[in-house]
Amino acid sequence: MTSPLIYDLTFDDLMALVTEAGESDYRARQIWDGLYKNLWQNPDDFTNLSKTLRSKLVELAKFDAVTPIQKLDSADRRTRKTLFKLQDDLSIEAVLMRYDRRQTLCISTQAGCAMGCVFCATGQMGFKRHLTSGEIVAQVLYYARLLSQEGYQVTNVVVMGMGEPFHNYANTLSAIDMLNDPEGYNFGARRFTISTSGLVPAIRRFADERRQVNLAVSLHAVDDDLRSSMMPINKKYNVEELLDACHYYIDRTGRRLTFEWALINGVNDTPEQARKLAQKLKGMLCHVNAIPLNPTNGYSGKSTTHERAVAFKGTLDQAGIPCTVRIRRGIDIQAGCGQLAIGED
Ligand code: SF4
């Protein structure tokens, strides 16, 4: 039997593993503390355990969930993209974005993605597999260690990297639960944001679970024809069904929803598109994040201009719908939204 990945184990799983190996159950707490409070990475780091137990730990579980193989810093050094190798040699990416007081991580939930959004490099590469919860957790812990060496902490985690998180619902949410554990890493649920391309049943399920985790929906168009041409998922769950699910989420949770809108020149950044969006979102507890499109090799659409983005925001503002035009980050290292992919360059 192959040994499990240590980060895939819940505390109860770890307790079972330790006791089955003939150790006292309090050892599980020591290991958990080492992993999630001290951010120890290798069995050798666990100085709270005996040497014998440390070597036993090597046999009991695998620790190298994600191995960094390439690190790229943007020219302004505020964005770092890391390429990680997984145990089966597939690769994923995760990005750290450093603002003045915020250290925001963008993490992946799948190797590749099955959703095929045309403007997205991950969509262009196709689906490889779901990540395990431990592989998701390990991306956060990797950056947490890196930041702690400089006296910083991760402040926000956006689940917007490679993959559709709700396509890998159970593992994504169990990773969040693991990181949220007050007896462990204790990362507040409100500091996570999950972004979905619009998997309607999952949005409803998420609403019913009434979690504190923030939700963002990639909308990008409110005409079915236009949205379907950009996001194939719209053929399965159209705009009306999606917005119904969004209303349901807001009603169930009382939480404000974010809509993501990649501004593509002449496609969805026109005054007409802005007016249609404003009409659809009227009265909704929501916020629009408008993101000038980031270029990818497989899509010919161009980014909006500054003037068009300002005008788009102006139309929404006038209709009373809060809108932010997001600053583009990490474009020079292909770490912007929709740019994460392996082997694209
Ligand atoms: S935008 Fe998100 S859901 Fe769409 S293909 Fe890219 S990673 Fe997948």
**pLDDT tens digits for 261-315?**
999 999 999 999 999 999 999 999 999 999 999 888 889 899 999 999 999 999 9
Q: Is the pLDDT of residue 2 over 90?
A: no
- Kindly indicate the confidence band of residue 344, based on its pLDDT and cuts at 50, 70 and 90: very low
Predicted pLDDT of residue 341: 76
Question: Atom of ligand 1 at shortest distance to CA of 121?
Answer: 6
Band (345; pLDDT cuts 50, 70, 90): very low
Both structure tokens of 51: 């040497």
Global pTM? 0.95
Question: What is the amino acid identity at position 250?
Answer: I
If one counts every other C-beta atom within 10 angstroms of the C-beta of residue 286, the result is 18
Of 106, 113, 246, 337, the active-site residue reads 337
User: Using CA atoms, how far apart are residues 51 and 336, in angstroms rounded to an integer?
Assistant: 44
59 is catalytic: no
Segment 200-210 mean pLDDT: 98
Give residue 126's pLDDT. 93
pLDDT interval class at 343 (50, 70, 90): low
Residues whose beta carbon lies within 6 Å of some atom of ligand 1: 113, 115-117, 120, 122-123, 162-164, 197, 218, 338
Q: Give the active site residue among 20, 23, 93, 240.
A: 93
- Whole-number Å distance between alpha carbons of 32 and 199: 34
Query: What is the average per-residue pLDDT within 16-42?
Result: 96
Among 79, 77, 46, CA closest to 61: 46
Q: Where are the alpha helices (DSSP H) in 254-331?
A: 271-281, 306-318
Q: pLDDT tens digits, residue range 78-95?
A: 999 999 999 999 999 999
Q: What tokens were used for 131?
A: 């990540």
Full 3-state SS string of 230-254? HCCHHHHCCHHHHHHHHHHHHHHHC
Span from the CA of 150 to the centroid of ligand 1 (angstroms): 32
Q: What pLDDT, on the 0 to 100 scale, is given for residue 1?
A: 65
Percent over 70 (pLDDT), the chain: 98
Q: Kindly report the average pLDDT of the chain as a whole number.
A: 94
Task: Judge residue 113's burial from the number of C-beta atoms within 10 Å of its C-beta, 0-12 exposed, 13-18 middle, 19 or more buried.
Answer: buried
Residue 171's SS3 state is helix
100 or 158, which is more confident:
158
Tell me, what's the pLDDT at 296?
A: 86
Check whether 230 has a pLDDT greater than 60: yes
**Which of 92, 95, 108, 113 to mutate to test ligand 1, by most ligand atoms within 8 A of the CB atom?**
113
Catalytic residue check, 93: yes
> Ligand 1, from 118, 119, 120: best to mutate by most atoms within 8 Å of Cβ?
120
- pLDDT tier at 337, thresholds 50, 70, 90: confident
Q: How confident is the model at residue 151 (pLDDT cuts 50, 70, 90)?
A: very high
Query: Is residue 127 helix, strand or coil?
Result: strand
